[in-house]
């Protein structure tokens, strides 16, 4: 199957779309127990645009599929244009879809999924800083995109300092440039806060305790699907850690810096989980661009193509097995 994506031909997009639908078929087939709800950490734009759509499981799954597919295309474009992916093929898009469809919490529309769609655009602006003729404008654009993402998913704001560190890794910033970055991040958020006040008079979506609080995991969510999700995500992390050295081998200094930025995104996403009041696997989607790019490099580094095919097949089989009907969740583990 990997052979279908080892090229840079346009027709491969149809195979990518087919695989996207296949991996998200459990949601379309109604295998999963869908409980429509508006998370407390949803931003004002998510509440305004998607509060009705999430009431239908089919519509929620459909919109999620479109967003996942769109982000996969953006990650491919980002990885190929920045030379993170030296072979310029469809692997970054392929593995972005695999990651974003791997567990139950990723199958339906969520604030984190919507916000994560903008992450490749943020990364593109950061990657372009080293060759930009107007550094201040590029930095402002980066901050503005982060702020817009937070209007869909409030915990996106936690990535603000990590992206600033990423920018510093590419060049030294002046105080005015740092100020423009901070102002850009806060501007959409303040506008969103004002809109929420205007429409609801009591904006629960902007309750700061949602993103400034210690994580709590409710015992009732810990069932067999919880542990399956943990295992699948642990496999992804293990692949990244075991392959980390290959991401830097014989690479340009600039590309190595881009890889460092992707690791900052991973680190920032995982660390910020600790400050979300309610645990939600979908938060990890903020790092899906980094996962997709790195997993693509990991599988490209496997010289024996048959071994890569077998490993990929086992990975897909494990994911589909983990997405089996919700009847499995009757077996509570604690």
- Give CA–CA dist 123/133, Å, rounded: 17
Residue 188 pLDDT greater than 80, yes or no: yes
Looking at residue 297, what is its pLDDT? 92
Domain boundaries, the chain: 2-330
pTM of the model: 0.88
Tokens 């510093």 correspond to 168
Q: Cα dihedral angle (130, 133, 134, 140), rounded to 10 degrees?
A: -40
Task: Confirm if 286 and 255 have CB atoms less than 8 A apart.
Answer: no
3-state class of 251 per DSSP? coil
Per-residue confidence at 205, pLDDT binned at 50, 70, 90?
A: very low
**Radius of gyration (C-alpha) of the chain in whole angstroms:** 20
- The arithmetic mean of pLDDT across residues 149-170, rounded, is 90
Per-residue confidence (pLDDT) for residue 174, from 0 to 100: 86
Alpha-carbon span 138 to 143, nearest angstrom: 9
Q: Average model confidence (pLDDT) for the chain? A: 85
- Of the candidate ranges 22-26, 49-53, 194-198, 279-283, the one whose mean pLDDT is the lowest: 194-198
Angle at CA of residue 100, ends 284 and 74, nearest 5° = 100
Burial group, residue 172, by CB count within 10 angstroms (0-12, 13-18, 19+):
exposed
Per residue in 72-109, pLDDT (tens digit) is: 999 999 998 888 988 889 999 999 999 999 988 899 99
Those residues whose C-beta lies under 8 Å from the C-beta of residue 330, and which sit 6 or more positions away, are none
pLDDT of residue 82: 87
Who has greater pLDDT, 163 or 325? 163
């Amino acid at each position: 199957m990997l052979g279908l994506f080892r090229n840079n031909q346009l027709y491969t997009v149809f195979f990518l779309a087919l695989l996207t639908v296949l991996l998200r078929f459990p949601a379309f087939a109604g295998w999963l127990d869908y409980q429509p709800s508006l998370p407390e950490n949803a931003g004002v734009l998510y509440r305004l645009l998607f509060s009705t759509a999430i009431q239908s499981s089919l519509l929620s799954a459909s919109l999620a599929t479109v967003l996942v597919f769109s982000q996969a295309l953006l990650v491919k474009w980002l990885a190929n244009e920045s030379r993170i992916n030296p072979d310029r093929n469809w692997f970054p898009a392929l593995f972005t879809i695999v990651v974003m469809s791997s567990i139950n919490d990723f199958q339906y529309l969520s604030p984190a999924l919507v916000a994560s769609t903008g992450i490749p655009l943020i990364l593109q602006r950061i990657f372009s800083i080293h060759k930009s003729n107007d550094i201040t404008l590029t930095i402002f654009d980066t901050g503005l995109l982060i702020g817009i993402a937070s209007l869909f998913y409030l915990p996106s704001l936690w990535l603000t300092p990590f992206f600033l560190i990423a920018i510093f890794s590419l060049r030294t910033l002046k105080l005015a440039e740092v100020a423009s970055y901070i102002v850009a991040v806060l501007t959409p958020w303040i506008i969103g806060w004002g809109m929420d006040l205007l429409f609801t008079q009591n904006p629960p979506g902007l309750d700061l305790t949602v993103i400034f609080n210690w994580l709590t995991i409710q015992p009732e969510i810990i069932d067999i699907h919880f542990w399956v999700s943990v295992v699948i995500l642990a496999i992804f992390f293990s692949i990244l850690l075991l392959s980390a050295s290959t991401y830097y081998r014989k690479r340009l200094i600039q590309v190595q810096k881009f890889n460092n930025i992707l690791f900052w995104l991973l680190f920032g996403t995982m660390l910020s989980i600790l400050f979300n009041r309610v645990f939600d696997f979908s938060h990890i989607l903020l790092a899906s661009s980094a996962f997709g790019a790195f997993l693509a490099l990991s599988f490209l580094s496997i010289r024996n193509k048959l071994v890569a095919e077998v490993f990929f097949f086992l990975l897909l089989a494990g994911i589909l097995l983990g997405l089996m009907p919700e009847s499995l969740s009757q077996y509570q583990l604690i």
